[in-house]
Structure 1
Amino acid sequence: MDPGGASQRSSRSGGSWKGHIIQQLRHRDRIQNTTFQDLIRFYTLLLEKTSLTKRLLSHSARPPEGPNSSSLQIQSSSLKEKMGELAYKVVELQQQVKIKDDVLEEQRSRLQEEEDRLKGASDAKLALQQQVQQIEEKNKKLKTAYDALLERQREAESKIREEKEKEEGMLEDMMHLKKQAAARMNHRNERRSRARQATVQKELRTVARSKVTVDSSSSAPTSRSTSPKNKDKDESTGRSQTRLFRSASATSPRSFFSSSKFSIREMFEKKRGHSIHSLEEDLLYPVGICLSARVPTRPLQVLEAHEQGINTVRFSFSSDLLATGGTDRVIKLWDVRAGWLSHRGTLDGSTEGITCVEFDPTGRRILAASHNKSALLWCLDDSVPKVTLTGHSRKVTAARFTCSPHQVVTGSTDRTIRLWDLKRAACLQQREVASFCSDLVCSENSIISGHFDSKIRVWDSRTVSCVQELPSQGRVTSLDLSSDRRQLLSCCRDDCLQLVDLRWSNDRMCFRADGFKCGSDSTKAVISPDGCYLAAGSADGAVYIWNVSKGNLETRLQGQHSSSITAVSWSLSGEYVVSVDRSRRAVLWRDI
């Protein structure tokens, strides 16, 4: 091998690493030089001045020679001063460097804290992101479940609509069948009645054409002896006369009436209400008589009578029983004893709120109107309805007993008035009206209805045909008749009570008061049993009582109701007044 080539390669390799080291040293020198440039510059100056000072000190140690010795001393002193200043500056610079090092260290620590905080925030961010993802997954699941439930609800609603349509169709079919059955029964009854009448007339004509032979001597009164002989003679004469009459009486009026007595009685019994009357028709109804009603002045009892608002209240004819009906779909019965109301029982069976209640004159039955498009009849000893009258297409606002114990009349917001037979639960008559019916009252031969079109209509109860229309001050909310059936009270939405004389004159009196305001379309006002006072509840929770003869406000009862009063009832004894409101409260009032 060539030794010269090996030496050249070794010299090249040695030169390469040396150059690399020199290059690294130069790079470090540049970095450090740029970092400590000011300090190096000051240090270089300090070294130069130090070396200069040493030289000066060495020269000053020598004895001064020549004339320039004084100037040298001056220069040396000035140099000392400069050296002191430079040394002071060096110390200051060292202190500044130390301060900057402390600041740098503090900034490093703060930077480390911020990095730690940033790391914690990043971890929290990751945790929150995970929570957000979990919540989004839960929301997706809930949304899926909600969509499924919504779909099920829609299906259920569609099924409910279908069932309601089927129910309405079945009700219409049932009512149609009931109407057809009632029409067929009425037709059969009328046909039988006509046949009986024709038979009676035929028999009467036959009797009228027949001849009756009667001995004239038998018709003249004669004085008879009481002797046995005369007695036997009289008996023989009587027997002969009797045989003569019987022989000629085969077609006589006496034989006709004796044979047709049952058929005539049966005819009139059948004609009454198209059905044979029961024993209840022959019972005498109790009639309450009130000579003088007492104006209440103070509350005897305040109670929460229902779970929801109360719509109606009514005393029985004997004044010892009270009925309240509310939006909680029940009727509650209360015994009135010694100025105290005690709960007697509850009548349920209605699927919606009660709008009107009324006792029958015997006090054994109670009739109610309901929002569920029907009227219901209970016996007081049974909580289940005995009869349910269905057929109205909207809520029933009023239900009243007529003079016949087995007939009731109802009014509804479907603009119809219906007459019902309780025995068959069938509608006997139906009349269309131009406006909603708000309330009804019944007298001997008439039905009176109040309507939203500010009119009061009088109907013939036998044919349910409108015979008269009376104007009102506003939309009618309730009607009430006086005990003598001569005066009609109407409550209107224009905050006015109107009293109408139902006799020939039809005089009208209007009653208003400051603060009185009719609270709803079903607010009910009443006449006192003696006809001397009017009572109505206001929207401000007060009961207003007017004096009929004076025409002014008699008293104002307040402080017990916190909401609008819906109904007021005055007992037929004239002793108590009960008011009810929409906040479930009933108040029993009485005079001092």
Structure 2
Amino acid sequence: MVWSGLTPTVVEFFLLGFSFSEVGCIRTSSGKVVCCHFSSDGKLLASAGHEKKAVLWNMDTLQTESTPEEHTLIITDIRFRPNSTQLATSSFDRTVRLWNAAEPSYSLHKYTGHSSHVMSLDFHPKKTDLFCSCDGNGEIRYWSVGQYSSTRVTKGGMAQVRFQPRIGQLLAAAADNIVSLFDVDSDRQTHSLQGHSKEVNSICWDTSGDYLASVSQDCVRVWSINSGECIHELSSNGNKFHSCVFHPSYSTLLVIGGYQSLELWNMAENKSMTVPAHEGLIAALAQSPVTGMVASASHDKSVKLWK
């Protein structure tokens, strides 16, 4: 058996029955793409960024639709409401907007109250009328979809907020070089995950909600929620890491977005391989457990699909 041009690491990935290749690319943006997310059923992919509008991609037909530019500044994060065609966008214009992908020609609602750039948002996995957002001042606001003002305000999130999947008992929030975990019901901080020397750019949960990955420019750390300890760490070896997502089909595989390339890290074996992917920074990654797809959004103005 000859594996021409493949490193031993790649061979081992292939021997696992694993392959990872680009299956689609979308270029509908005239600006940097900084966020993306799949709907719960995997049938829609939403992306947004510097262009101030959201692009909605039908995964069956590969047709795209766009929302109007109702945000006045760049969009920083985009998230689908669980089991719904509704989605929300956060923006530098200090607002969050709610949309319906089935009728994206206008926003359903605008949520105001943040005093700084809104950097991230996320919907609760079970209480789907609940979502939260964080801003550049480290403020986290909780909202009810049907209400016009935030229901609760706390501190501790700046770069990104992500609810624990499935149960939503915890909220992970990244600010500077620390990731904080909050009990959603009591608002109590349960963990302060410390160890990054540079600021954390993004965080992601595994599907079980037992593990959390955090990415800074120079390293990725994977934390056990039970112990609060870092159980895996990968240094970047010069590539500037920015985003991450657990692979939808392989629980021990973390996909990391850097500058132009993706890093596939098999945590169980502590082996990684580099996949050339984009012409710019890979600002965000998303995955769909339903379809096994991974999406990468980049500053090169494109979104790519991988499987």
Counterpart CA distance in 2 for 1:448 and 1:516 is 25
Cα offset, 1:294, TM superposition: 7.7
1:568 equivalent to 2:276? Answer no
1:246-285 mapped onto 2 (5 Å cutoff): none
The alignment of Structure 1 onto Structure 2 pairs a total of residues equal to 284
Counterpart CA distance in 1 for 2:188 and 2:298 is 35
* Residues 296, 365 of structure 1: alpha-carbon distance in 2 compared, 3 angstrom cutoff: farther
Say which of 40, 50, 56 aligns to 1:317. Answer: 40
> Residue 528 of structure 1 aligns with which residue?
247
Counterpart CA distance in 2 for 1:538 and 1:400 is 23
Say which of 344, 350, 358 aligns to 2:71. Answer: 350
Q: Scaled by the length of structure 2, what TM-score is found?
A: 0.86
AA aligned opposite 2:274: R
> Residue 11 of structure 2 aligns with which residue?
none
Cα offset, 1:420, TM superposition: 1.1
AA aligned opposite 1:393: S
AA aligned opposite 1:532: T
Given that residues 372 and 396 in structure 1 are in contact (C-alpha distance below 8 angstroms), is that contact kept between their aligned partners in structure 2?
A: yes
Higher relative contact order (CA 8 A, sep 6+): 2
Counterpart CA distance in 2 for 1:365 and 1:417 is 22
> Residue 49 of structure 2 aligns with which residue?
326
Q: Percent identity?
A: 17
* Residues 409, 295 of structure 1: alpha-carbon distance in 2 compared, 3 angstrom cutoff: farther
Given that residues 500 and 509 in structure 1 are in contact (C-alpha distance below 8 angstroms), is that contact kept between their aligned partners in structure 2?
A: yes
> Residue 410 of structure 1 aligns with which residue?
133
Given that residues 138 and 175 in structure 2 are in contact (C-alpha distance below 8 angstroms), is that contact kept between their aligned partners in structure 1?
A: no
1:375 equivalent to 2:96? Answer yes
> Residue 204 of structure 2 aligns with which residue?
480
Unaligned runs of 5+ in 1: 1-292
> Residue 275 of structure 2 aligns with which residue?
557
Counterpart CA distance in 2 for 1:537 and 1:505 is 24
Instruction: Specify which structure has the higher proportion of helix.
Output: 1
Given that residues 193 and 228 in structure 2 are in contact (C-alpha distance below 8 angstroms), is that contact kept between their aligned partners in structure 1?
A: no
Counterpart CA distance in 2 for 1:428 and 1:294 is 48
Given that residues 294 and 575 in structure 1 are in contact (C-alpha distance below 8 angstroms), is that contact kept between their aligned partners in structure 2?
A: no
Counterpart CA distance in 2 for 1:570 and 1:381 is 21
Counterpart CA distance in 1 for 2:178 and 2:194 is 5
* Residues 427, 505 of structure 1: alpha-carbon distance in 2 compared, 3 angstrom cutoff: closer
Report the secondary structure of 2:76's partner residue: strand
Counterpart CA distance in 2 for 1:588 and 1:445 is 31
* Residues 505, 414 of structure 1: alpha-carbon distance in 2 compared, 3 angstrom cutoff: closer
Cα offset, 1:572, TM superposition: 1.4
AA aligned opposite 2:204: D
* Residues 463, 294 of structure 1: alpha-carbon distance in 2 compared, 3 angstrom cutoff: farther
Cα offset, 1:505, TM superposition: 6.0
1:369-518 mapped onto 2 (5 Å cutoff): 369-383=90-104, 384-402=106-124, 403-433=126-156, 437-443=158-164, 444-452=168-176, 454-473=177-196, 474-493=198-217, 495-504=218-227, 506-518=229-241
Given that residues 39 and 85 in structure 2 are in contact (C-alpha distance below 8 angstroms), is that contact kept between their aligned partners in structure 1?
A: no
Cα offset, 1:364, TM superposition: 1.9
Q: Deviations over 1:226-261 (max 9, x none)?
A: xxxxxxxxxxxxxxxxxxxxxxxxxxxxxxxxxxxx
Counterpart CA distance in 1 for 2:107 and 2:195 is 36
Counterpart CA distance in 2 for 1:294 and 1:392 is 47
Counterpart CA distance in 1 for 2:299 and 2:269 is 32
Counterpart CA distance in 2 for 1:511 and 1:430 is 34
Given that residues 333 and 346 in structure 1 are in contact (C-alpha distance below 8 angstroms), is that contact kept between their aligned partners in structure 2?
A: yes
> Residue 4 of structure 2 aligns with which residue?
none
Counterpart CA distance in 2 for 1:371 and 1:585 is 21
* Residues 294, 313 of structure 1: alpha-carbon distance in 2 compared, 3 angstrom cutoff: farther
Counterpart CA distance in 2 for 1:563 and 1:336 is 24
Counterpart CA distance in 1 for 2:96 and 2:40 is 21
* Residues 324, 296 of structure 1: alpha-carbon distance in 2 compared, 3 angstrom cutoff: farther
AA aligned opposite 2:258: S
Given that residues 221 and 230 in structure 2 are in contact (C-alpha distance below 8 angstroms), is that contact kept between their aligned partners in structure 1?
A: no
Counterpart CA distance in 1 for 2:107 and 2:53 is 11
Counterpart CA distance in 2 for 1:575 and 1:431 is 35
